[in-house]
């Protein structure tokens, strides 16, 4: 076994079986390892101890309001694309305690809870989700205020990314320029090539882990083949742009024209399309829950019966809830049309004003998990007219 | 929307500071002013705010409420909030007595443009100032009024246009004479008069009709119900006052104060940290869109 540090940016080849060694090595370094696993008919992120738990041989078929796992002869370990979970579930958990108050002798002691110091390694992170992570970093770390719990988790994160070999019909990362190849922000990046993996080293932490693993320097042929897989997928996705939805046959192959999209949406706040989409929208908030960048949260107090012990808990909220914009004078966004407009214009337009980037990474989750199949790409196209 | 806190606060941003209620002044029905003193002397010594900012007031078990600061920013011994009972947190605060504790997180938000003093926007020094408020909307402007009167020579003519539903809903009336003596014109109106009321009857924007303004050198600051502010802005623009010289304080569901929770967004802005005080040119695109 070679015991030498590999340089950042270099490419190595490993057998698929070495993934098991990688998982074990990360666990040996104290990481909690999380990766893709099948649960309730979907691929989610869950604790991963063994390579046998990976969804080898599965692909996901996705469309508006549809998600199905299928066995596929040719499928490798990571040929599904994205399920309902993203890194958000771990870095910005659905519910967490922000503050604990204890009342004693007439005074109240308020302390933030201890932050779990266990570092987290996530295996199988997609390019779109890595961009989503960078976007959430801007929200929680990039402004005048820093969220301490997010910061602690973020600093303890190890990312094993995966370059996509296939795209679902709902994927449009090529339009948002976020994939299908990873562009940084990872510790290790895998590409599955003919039953083995090409690994790109993205960080010193990534290089450290490779010390434990049996690897060879990737031959130029392997690196080129890995790149060719990404390039071919990108080409296939770009071909979609040439066929408007009205002329496509079969399952709609998504893309989005993002030309001047900020002004397009801000200039169309009174467009009749908002009312039309509201006729179908159930305001269920699924899109915001599966979105890897949505960050709205509500904070509530959970008290024991004496009132002496109170936890302040933050839980994911959604701009589709009436309470989201509630003030004592009433709810600001009284209609579903106004809430859908808030979600879409924030995601694609005013996010640019706030954070200098789109809030959408083209993962397509909001399309797949919408119970009525509302399609963000179709809505933008309709407003563009 | 000038950020006042360039540096994150040294302490944990979700932890409130404990403060003691040192005075409660009943103002009008359902409204009282609470004077607070921090328990920790270091917190008290370090605490600064500028006119227009708010605090998140916290009662464990009930939650937080965003409340404007209504005291004189130059007074280091006094931090006051004028609170109307509106929701469950303010109801619980209304049951508190002198000596009880309350949590304070803040201050948050942007400033009225009252001076070139620490942390404040200085766009109206030397200008005539019209302050137009409705109801409890006078509370967030009271620190600005104190500041202007403390530095009266820095400004031209200063006018307060203030209205409430009835004469019994007018805030701070006992201070009006002192404000007049300090060099401020105070015009008061009520929506509904009664036998005892000898003043104007009508809505606040109508008070503009009696003013003879010099538009090029006038700054307007307004706070009150959004419908009132809409017409104040209309009257100001009609008098050729520039949109950049009209300032308004927006209210939304401010729940965290830091731009994390997303509840207070108006178009591209987080009202909690980009506002609550905006100049009209910043919000014009979004201000008149229904249900935005």
Helix residue ranges per DSSP H, A243-361? 261-266, 273-278, 286-290, 336-345, 351-355
Percent of chain A with pLDDT over 90: 90
Which among A108, A149, A261, A345 is the top mutation candidate for probing chain B, defined by the most B β-carbons within 10 Å of its own β-carbon?
Answer: A108
Chain Cα centroid distance, residue A2: 35
Q: How far apart are CA B56 and CA B64, in angstroms?
A: 6
Please report the pLDDT score of residue B178 as a whole number.
97
Q: Chain-wide mean pLDDT for chain B?
A: 92
Burial of B227 (0-12, 13-18, 19+ CB in 10 A): exposed
Helices A127-141 and A148-155 sit at what angle, rounded to 10 degrees? 140
Task: Using pLDDT thresholds of 50, 70 and 90, give the confidence band for residue A20.
Answer: very high
* Separation CA B206–CA A191 (nearest Å): 70
Q: Do residues A285 and A320 make contact, with C-beta atoms less than 8 angstroms apart?
A: yes
Cβ B260–A147 below 8 Å, yes or no?
yes
Within its chain, how far is the Cα of B217 from the centroid? 22
Task: Say if residue B107 is preceded by a cis peptide, omega within 30 of 0.
Answer: yes
User: What Å distances lie between residue A54 and A39, A46, A76, CA to CA?
Assistant: 11, 10, 10
Residue B217 contacts A, CB cutoff 8 Å:
no
Residues in contact with A258: Cβ distance below 8 Å, sequence separation at least 6, in sequence order:
A175, A176, A348, A358
Q: Three-state DSSP class for B150? A: helix
Burial of A104 (0-12, 13-18, 19+ CB in 10 A): exposed
Å between B158 CA and nearest CA of chain A: 31
Determine the Cα–Cα distance for residues B68 and B55; give it in Å rounded to an integer: 6
Q: How far is B181 from chain A (nearest CA, A)?
A: 36
Q: Are B245 and B220 in contact (CB under 8 A)?
A: yes
**A241 CB-near residues (< 8 Å, 6+ apart):** A175, A255, A257
∠ CA B42-B45-B47, rounded to 5°: 105
Tokens at residue B195, please?
A: 């036998």
Mutation for A interface: B8, B263, B266, B284, most A CBs within 10 A: B263
* B3, B18, B253 member nearest A107 (Cβ): B18
Give the whole-number percent of chain B exceeding pLDDT 70.
94
Mean pLDDT rounded to a whole number for chain A? 95
- ipTM value: 0.93
Distance CA A118, CA A157 (A): 10
pLDDT tens figures, A72-128: 998 999 999 999 999 999 999 999 999 999 988 877 888 899 888 899 999 999 999
Furthest-apart CA atoms within chain A: distance in Å:
73
For the stretch A115-164, pLDDT in tens is 888 999 999 999 999 999 999 999 999 998 999 999 999 999 999 999 99
Contact B167, B194 (CB under 8 A): yes
Residues A345-363: tens digit of each pLDDT:
999 999 999 999 999 999 9
Evaluate whether A254 touches B274 at the Cβ level (below 8 Å): no
Preceding omega of B204 cis (within 30 degrees of 0): no
Beta carbons of A295 and B259 less than 8 Å apart: no
Q: 3-class SS at B138? A: helix
**Residue A49 binned pLDDT confidence (cut-offs 50, 70, 90):** very high
Q: For residues B57 and A353, give the distance between their C-alpha atoms in angstroms, rounded to a whole number.
A: 29
The continuous run of DSSP H or E covering A290 comes out as helix A286-290
């Amino acid at each position: 076994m070679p015991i030498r540090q590999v340089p950042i940016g270099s490419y190595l080849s490993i057998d698929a079986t070495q993934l098991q060694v990688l998982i074990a090595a990360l666990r040996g370094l104290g990481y909690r390892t999380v990766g893709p696993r099948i649960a309730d008919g979907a691929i989610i992120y869950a604790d991963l101890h063994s390579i046998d738990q990976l969804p080898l041989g599965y692909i996901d078929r996705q469309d508006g309001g549809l998600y199905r796992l299928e066995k596929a002869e040719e499928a490798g370990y990571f040929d599904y694309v994205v399920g309902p979970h993203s890194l958000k579930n771990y870095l910005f958990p659905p519910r967490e305690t922000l503050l604990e108050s204890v009342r004693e002798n007439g005074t109240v002691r308020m302390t933030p809870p201890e932050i779990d110091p266990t570092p987290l390694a996530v295996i199988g992170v997609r390019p779109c989700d890595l961009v989503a992570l960078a976007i959430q970093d801007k929200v929680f770390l990039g402004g005048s205020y820093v969220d301490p719990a997010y910061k602690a988790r973020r600093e303890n994160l190890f990312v094993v990314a995966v370059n996509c070999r296939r795209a679902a019909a709902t994927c449009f990362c090529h339009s948002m320029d976020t994939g299908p190849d990873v562009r940084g922000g990872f510790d290790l990046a895998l590409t599955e090539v003919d039953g083995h993996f090409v690994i790109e080293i993205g960080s010193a932490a990534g290089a450290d882990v490779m010390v434990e693993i049996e690897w060879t320097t990737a031959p130029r042929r392997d690196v080129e083949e890995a790149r060719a897989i990404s390039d071919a997928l990108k080409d296939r996705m770009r071909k979609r742009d040439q066929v408007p939805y009205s002329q496509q046959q079969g399952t709609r192959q998504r893309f989005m024209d993002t030309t001047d999209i900020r002004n397009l949406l801000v200039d169309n706040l009174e467009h009749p399309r908002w009312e039309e989409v509201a006729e179908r929208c159930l305001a269920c908030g699924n899109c915001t829950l599966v979105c890897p960048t949505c960050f709205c949260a509500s904070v509530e107090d959970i008290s024991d019966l004496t009132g002496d012990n109170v936890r302040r808990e933050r839980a994911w909220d959604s701009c589709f809830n009436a309470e989201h914009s509630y003030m004592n004078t009433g709810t600001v966004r009284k209609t579903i049309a106004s809430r859908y407009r808030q979600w879409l214009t924030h995601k694609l337009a005013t996010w640019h004003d706030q954070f200098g980037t789109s809030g959408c990474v083209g993962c397509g989750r909001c399309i797949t998990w919408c119970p009525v199949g509302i399609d963000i790409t179709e809505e933008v196209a309709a407003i563009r007219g | 929307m000038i950020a006042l806190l360039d540096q994150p606060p040294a302490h944990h941003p979700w932890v409130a500071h404990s403060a003691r209620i040192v005075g409660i002044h009943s103002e009008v029905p359902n409204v009282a002013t609470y004077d607070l003193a921090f328990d920790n002397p270091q917190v008290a010594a370090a605490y600064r705010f500028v006119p227009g900012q708010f605090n998140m007031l916290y009662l464990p078990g009930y939650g937080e409420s965003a409340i404007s600061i209504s005291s004189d920013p130059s007074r280091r011994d006094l931090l006051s909030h004028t609170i109307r009972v509106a929701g469950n947190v303010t109801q619980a605060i209304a049951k508190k007595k002198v000596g009880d504790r309350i949590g304070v997180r803040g201050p948050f938000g942007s400033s009225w443009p009252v001076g070139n003093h620490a942390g404040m926007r200085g766009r109206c020094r030397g200008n005539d100032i019209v302050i137009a408020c409705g109801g409890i909307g006078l509370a967030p402007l009271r620190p600005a009024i104190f500041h202007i009167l403390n530095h009266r020579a820095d400004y031209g003519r200063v006018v307060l246009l203030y209205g409430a539903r009835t004469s019994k809903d007018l805030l701070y009336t006992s201070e009006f004479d002192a404000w007049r003596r300090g060099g401020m014109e105070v015009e008061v109106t009520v929506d509904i008069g009664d036998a005892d009321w000898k003043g104007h009857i009508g809505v606040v924007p109508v008070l503009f009709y009696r003013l003879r303004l010099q538009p090029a050198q006038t700054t307007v600051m307004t706070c009150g119900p959004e419908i009132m502010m809409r017409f104040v802005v209309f009257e100001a623009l009609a008098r050729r006052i520039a949109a950049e010289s009209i300032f308004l304080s927006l209210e939304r569901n401010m729940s965290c104060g830091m731009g994390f929770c997303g509840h207070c967004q108006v178009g591209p802005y987080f009202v909690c940290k980009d506002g609550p005080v905006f100049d009209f040119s910043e919000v014009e695109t979004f201000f008149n869109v229904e249900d935005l």
